């Protein structure tokens, strides 16, 4: 089966479509768009200029890809949206291009599922196998790690990070970084411990999960100072890559990291960072 473009679709002659691509009725695809092999673009989808996607993506009806960034300083520069392979992009999802204030590119990895009305703003990086449930929203410059899950209607503040394998509850308000492996929910979001079930489903060994649980208890539940807690965790688990990954994330924070839900003094949450 070759590439098929419906007679009502508007596809710029300079757009590059791979083999076996399907473009449905009333789609609009601009110049400087690359669509990889076997992609399917359903009726009424809109793909703006400077959007480049890999193979085997499915873009559902009314999705809006590569639009201008919603940024007051944007002046029409030819920034980019880059999409990997095998992504499922559902109805009314929006992904905007980057800005020249950053690297000029918004990136979506491979094997992601973006449910209806999800929004990925300018300059975001969404790594592989991320799930964004209905109406999950990323502000500009957000970084979401591999296999993170974002619940419906959650919102992530500009420049915040969501670590790999984290699980964000529905309607959560994320203003600070959420570390890898953790569950977070609420507004403002607080940590509720490691995502143990999710980690086991992803093939983490019992030892790795135990190391993560121990690191969480020392860093967020012991009340110790940040560096003292980190030193204790590294001494206890010197050869655990999952712990090293967690500590590296914490040490690179710029916004700060969400605090534990249960650690409090006189009813006031203790901020870890």
Of 123, 139, 145, 177, the active-site residue reads 123
Cross-strand pairs, 41: 23, 59
In order of 8, 47, 96, the CA distances from 126 in angstroms are: 33, 19, 12
CB 23 within 8 A of CB 8: no
Give one DSSP letter per residue of 195-215, joined into a string: -HHHHHHTT--HHHHHHHHHH
Q: Which two tokens stand for residue 60?
A: 């559902």
In the block, tokens 């110790």 appear at 224
Select from 119, 71, 126, 120 the least CA-distant residue to 99. Answer: 71
The most distant pair of C-alpha atoms in the chain lies apart, rounded to whole Å, by: 68
Known catalytic residue at 228: no
Burial class, 45, CB count within 10 angstroms (exposed 0-12 / middle 13-18 / buried 19+): buried
User: What is the dihedral sign for C-alpha 89, 35, 140, 248?
Assistant: positive
Known catalytic residue at 123: yes
Of 71, 96, 119, 122, the active-site residue reads 122
Of 140, 163, 169, 193, the active-site residue reads 140
Known catalytic residue at 24: no
Q: Which residues are catalytic?
A: 122-123, 140
């Amino acid at each position: 089966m070759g590439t098929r473009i419906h007679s009502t679709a508007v596809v710029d002659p300079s757009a590059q479509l791979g083999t076996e691509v399907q473009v449905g009725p009333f789609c609009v695809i601009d110049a400087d768009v690359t669509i990889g092999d076997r992609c399917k673009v359903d009726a009424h989808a809109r793909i703006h200029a400077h959007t480049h996607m890999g193979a085997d993506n499915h873009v559902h009806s009314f999705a809006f890809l590569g639009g201008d960034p919603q940024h007051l300083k944007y002046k029409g520069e030819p920034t980019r949206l880059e999409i990997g392979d095998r992504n499922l992009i559902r109805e009314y999802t929006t992904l905007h291009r980057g800005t020249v204030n950053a690297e000029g590119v918004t990136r979506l990895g491979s094997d992601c599922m973006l449910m209806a009305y999800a929004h990925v703003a300018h300059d975001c990086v969404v790594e592989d196998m991320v799930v964004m449930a209905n109406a999950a929203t990323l502000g500009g410059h957000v970084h979401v790690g591999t296999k993170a899950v974002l619940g419906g209607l959650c919102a992530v503040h500009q420049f915040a990070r969501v670590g790999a394998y984290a699980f964000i509850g529905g309607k959560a308000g994320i203003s600070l970084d959420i570390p890898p492996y953790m569950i977070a929910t609420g507004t403002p979001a607080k940590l509720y411990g490691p995502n143990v079930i999710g980690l086991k489903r992803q093939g983490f060994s019992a030892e790795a999960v135990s190391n993560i649980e121990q690191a969480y208890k020392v860093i967020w539940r012991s009340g110790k100072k940040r560096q003292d807690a980190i030193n204790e965790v590294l001494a206890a688990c010197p050869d655990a890559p999952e712990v090293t990954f967690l500590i590296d994330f914490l040490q690179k924070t710029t916004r700060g990291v969400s605090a534990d839900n249960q650690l409090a003094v006189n009813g006031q949450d203790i901020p870890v960072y």
